[in-house]
Amino acid sequence: MSTNQKYTSENDSKHDENRNKGPSRWSSCRKRGADGSLRRSHPNEEENKDQRCSQRPERFTTPESEGPVSRVKNWGDEVEAEEMRSNVHRDMHRYRRRILAADSPQRDRKISSGSSESRDSKDSPAKGDVETDETTLMRRQKQITYGKNTLAYDRYMKEVPKHMRQPGVHPRTPNKFKKYSRRSWDQQIKLWRVSLHAWDPPAEEGSELEQIEEIDLGEIMDFDFDVECSADTETASQYPESKGASLSLQEDSFTGTPKKMMKIEDAEMA
Amino acid sequence: MENSSKDDYKIQSFDIETQTLLKTALNDPGSVDLEKVCSVIVEQSLKDQIFSREAGRICYSIVQTEAKQNNGSSFRRHLLTRLQQEFIAREETRRRSTQDWVCLVSFICNIFDYLKVNNMPMLALVQPVYDCLLRLAQPDALKNEVEVDCLVLQLHRIGDQLEKMNMERMDEMFYLLRDGFLLQEDLSSMGRLLLLEILEFRAGGWNLSDTAQKYYYSEVTD
């Protein structure tokens, strides 16, 4: 069966325009159109089906979508995007509550079990400085997810509990809710990811010592990255690994503790 | 890791080897071929009526466990991809076999019921579920008791959730159901009874009043 035939509309009119005019999929039961005018008497069932097919819009905006959504979408992709979106919104609520709590006179610093990446002990942004653009947040979240879906991060989490993290010594996930320029953000991500390599598992025999390359993570997010990916994903992050490229700046790529990184971090490694 | 007895997931209808595979998937998803597991579950759901109504639970368990174990979501992805294929071919399935068709609808609705994303129903499935149920509300389907039975079962289980996600389409569905009940001559009396009950059920806010309960179910032993 041809999917396209079923779903592609022959006219390009948007859903809204179609609603009030002519037969729709529901016209067999409705006496009046949505604009109140009486409908013609019902065409027979078969005809109705064809008309339904041909008049179904190809793209439309629903309350739950951000913009026009094309009809034939892969359910797997959609659900993954839904999940990320709802995670981002949940994070946003938590973050807002945390800022408000910090602003309150009691300065009651309750540490919830939420992600630490949004927790700023010293520099809570002013209320107007929260990043709220969903596209940006989703993009940033993807970058963070890639970083957390690594062996290094997993080992880091196991080795250093959050409450024992020392600022300057231990890598800290960039806060996606703060306002940063694109360049600034991408740079923070790079530095963060590089710093996580301190926790890469010991190199296996035969692996080469590669240079730590500057990779433009912004580009990678947009298309499939043909790299030898480690099939194993193993971290305690609430964001699932998506079908796209899993950046493999992990176990095989880098060996040893990058001492230079420690200097950048400006502290001694424990 | 929870102790999943066979009975929880209704997997008795599978052969022993498959049951073992499923149990392993429930405990250690990373160690099995999840695409195969998915395939096995979907195949069974499309022909076994009992299982089609319960498969959501085992699927959800596997999804949860995989997420906890390695933050993966490959089982869910396989499942949704497969489900989408079956959904696209549903009219053909209906033509071929009514039994297979009602199994498919039960299965999709069961997945919708169980596979939540952050405790919210999967948006991506809302329209497809409606498409299926609205198909069942068409005159040519209403005259088959089997299809009416499937329709009302799904509405009992997920009607209120569906309505929240899209009230308009639920209204449209009930226009069709009222019309069918009133005007369609080739409905069986059981078909009519089922429709009347579901009309009252929704009118009661997805609940049956005590008197209605007595009327429809007084002969049913619990």
C-alpha–C-alpha distance, residues A65 and B222, integer Å: 44
pLDDT at A158: 86
Chain B contact probe: residue of A2, A75, A243 with most B CBs at under 10 A = A75
Measured in angstroms, the CA of B173 and the nearest CA of chain A are apart by 9
Q: pLDDT confidence of A165, banded at 50, 70, 90?
A: confident
Answer with the residue of higher pLDDT: B167 or A149: B167
- ipTM of the modeled complex: 0.88
| Cβ–Cβ below 8 Å for B77 and A82 | no
Q: Which residue among A64, A76, A236 sits closest to B80, beta carbon to beta carbon?
A: A76
With a CB cutoff of 8 Å and minimum separation 6, the contacts of B168 are none
Cβ atoms A140, A217 nearer than 8 A: no
Tokens 């629903």 label which residue? A62
Six token digits for residue B42:
């979907």
Contact yes or no for B65/B58 (Cβ under 8 A):
no
By residue count, chain A amounts to: 270
Q: Which residue has better confidence, A92 or A202?
A: A92
Under the banding of pLDDT at 50, 70 and 90, the label for residue A267 is very low
pLDDT of residue B113: 97
- Nearest-5° angle of CA B93, CA B82, CA A86? 125
C-alpha span between B76 and B50 (Å, rounded): 22
């390359």: which residue's tokens?
A213
Is residue A265 within 8 angstroms of chain B, CB to CB? no
Name the average pLDDT for chain B: 93
Note the pLDDT tens digit of each residue in B130-181.
999 999 999 999 999 999 999 999 999 999 999 999 999 999 999 999 999 9
Predicted pLDDT at A13: 44
pLDDT confidence of residue A201: 85
Q: Are A117 and A173 in contact (CB under 8 A)?
A: yes
Phi then psi for residue A70, to 5 deg, are -80, 150
Tell me the per-residue pLDDT of A92-139, one tens digit each, with 9 for 90 and over.
Answer: 999 989 888 887 655 545 545 555 555 554 455 555 678 889 899 999
Q: Is the pLDDT of residue A12 over 50?
A: no
Confidence of residue A68 (pLDDT cuts 50, 70, 90): low
**A237-242 mean pLDDT:** 51
- Whether B81 and A74 lie within 8 Å, measured CB to CB: yes
Q: Which residue of B has its CA nearest to A76?
A: B77
Task: Name B11's Cβ contacts closer than 8 Å, sequence gap at least 6.
Answer: B18, B19, B22, B51, B58
Chain B positions touching chain A (beta carbons under 8 Å): 67, 70-73, 76-78, 80-81, 83-84, 88-89, 91-92, 117-118, 120, 122-125, 134, 138-140, 172, 175-176, 179
B31 interaction partners in chain A (CB closer than 8 Å): none
Q: What confidence tens digit (pLDDT) does each residue in B79-119 have?
A: 999 999 999 999 999 999 999 999 999 999 999 999 999 99
Among B64, B69, B74, B21, smallest CA distance to B44 is for: B21
* Range with the poorest average pLDDT among A40-49, A173-182, A197-206, B58-67: A40-49
Residue A14 pLDDT exceeds 50 = no
Lowest mean pLDDT among A50-59, A200-209, B118-127: A50-59
Who's near B76: CB < 8 A, 6+ residues apart? A76, A79, B63, B66, B115
A194 C-beta neighbours (distance < 10 Å), count: 20
Of A1, A30, A86, the CB nearest to B120: A86
Instruction: State the pLDDT at residue A230.
Output: 41
* Alpha-carbon span B45 to B86, nearest angstrom: 11
pLDDT at A149: 85
Q: Which of B106, B136, B109 is nearest to B122 (CA)?
A: B109
Residue A249 confidence (pLDDT) above 50:
no
Q: What percent of chain A has pLDDT over 90?
A: 22
Mean pLDDT of chain A: 66
Q: Is the pTM of this model over 0.80?
A: no
